[in-house]
Amino acid sequence: MGMWALIFGSVIVAACLGIAYLTLCIGRFSAIKKLSGENKWRKRIISLGVTVAGFAVAALAISVVNAVMILLHVVIFFLIFGLLIRIINKVRGKEFKINYQGWLALITSAVYLSVGWYLCHNVWQTDYELTTDKNVGTLKIALIADSHMGTTFDGKGFEEHLKTIEKQSPDMLVIAGDFVDDSTSSQDLIDACNALGKLDLKYGVWYCYGNHDEGYYKNKDYTPQQLEKSLKDNGVHILADSYELVDDRFYVVGRKDKSRGERKNMDDLLKGVDTDKYIIVLDHEPNDYKAESDSPADLVLSGHTHGGQFFPVTHLGVLMSMNDKTYGYERRESTDFIVTSGISDWEIKFKTGTKSEYVIVNIKGD
């Protein structure tokens, strides 16, 4: 919690400094100069008004959080091109008459954030091919996480994505947490769970809780109990520090989310399993790799990180010890780990360091 408070505090400070900096930068556009009559204070007031108005429009159109993200990216590009133009001016020995810093910063910001919006609101398939010495035969798993229903799609939109996944003919679908969000309505929940119930998969749908599934209920118009009931009524296997043996071939294990406090350690959780059989673990947050790689687990599937969301944050989660991995595949000891960037998003509606996805894992055993 302290880390997140530091991050949010830093973002607020950066946003305030960014508004001040943009006010100076916007004053360099010829239109602002003409409106102000080259009066310094009038120019600053008009520039501040333009900056605040732009922020307000973004906040009303999307949200305050996304307006802050847009602001910070615009500031970064103004800084980058400001430095670049300054270097060029020194080399050529005179200044440009056109405000190249401003135009390049605005155009690049628009293109960059448009791509980020596209990567967030569209969904790709990512494939992994795994092998094992265990006698599991072939197994095709579809993995999704972080649907955060009601953000980039509603319950009906979720159903359309499930139809795409079902066309890949997986043996089972696993959901690694954060199925719902603060913005998920009870109708979204009903529609999404009904869509899961319509899937025709050999081994059905398996689910573990994420931090948004069990928490953040102040703004939701349903209870955790209603979430659980809706999932179960549609045949979803809910695993919370529990496991099931499937078809006498493999185990599916679901861990409680780390954010909810007490949960079983891996030794206690896997007590009684037949370690000769393939063991799949669903753990929403990828931050217990040491214990999981020391256990008999063969495959651990996670989400939560959103793939790092923004470049270069993709790499900061591990460096700051927030997660053991931010995105993708890794093997430790004899355990395979996969972290998905998620099929949707939380509050922020841009992805520039990754993209939205569902995952297909093909396992080939003896």
**Separation of alpha carbons 329 and 354, rounded Å:** 14
Whether residues 180 and 243 fall in one domain: yes
Whether residues 86 and 135 fall in one domain: no
Whether residues 129 and 104 fall in one domain: no
Q: What is the CATH number of the domain that holds 222?
A: 3.60.21.10
Could you tell me which residues come within 8 angstroms of residue 363 by beta carbon, excluding any fewer than 6 positions away?
A: 130, 131, 132, 136, 138, 139, 140, 141, 278, 299
Whether residues 224 and 345 fall in one domain: yes
Q: Which stretch, 43-52, 176-185, 267-276, 315-324, has highest mean pLDDT?
A: 267-276
pLDDT by residue (tens digit) across 109-151? 999 999 999 999 999 999 999 999 999 999 999 999 999 999 9
In which domain, by residue range, is 245 found? 123-364
Torsion of CA 144, 257, 223, 123, to 10 degrees: -20
Output the six-digit token pair for 342.
């998620």
Whether residues 197 and 341 fall in one domain: yes
Whether residues 129 and 188 fall in one domain: yes
Q: Which of 64, 86, 119 is the last residue of a domain?
A: 119
DSSP state of 329: E
Whether residues 46 and 81 fall in one domain: yes
Whether residues 218 and 80 fall in one domain: no
Q: Which stretch, 3-17, 40-54, 268-282, has highest mean pLDDT?
A: 268-282
Contact 216, 260 (CB under 8 A): no
Q: Which of 119, 144, 172 is the last residue of a domain?
A: 119
| Region at 172 (left for phi over 0; alpha for psi -120 to 50; beta for the rest) | beta
Mean pLDDT across the chain: 92
Helix locations, the chain, DSSP H: 2-26, 30-36, 40-61, 64-92, 100-121, 155-166, 186-198, 211-214, 224-233, 266-269, 289-294, 316-319
* Averaged pLDDT, 297-309: 95
Contact 161, 359 (CB under 8 A): no
- What is the pLDDT at residue 314? 67
Whether residues 111 and 127 fall in one domain: no
Whether residues 128 and 112 fall in one domain: no
Q: Which of 119, 146, 166 is the last residue of a domain?
A: 119
Other Cβ atoms closer than 10 A to 352: 21
Residue 88: pLDDT band (50, 70, 90) is very high
Whether residues 20 and 87 fall in one domain: yes
Give the number of domains in the chain. 2
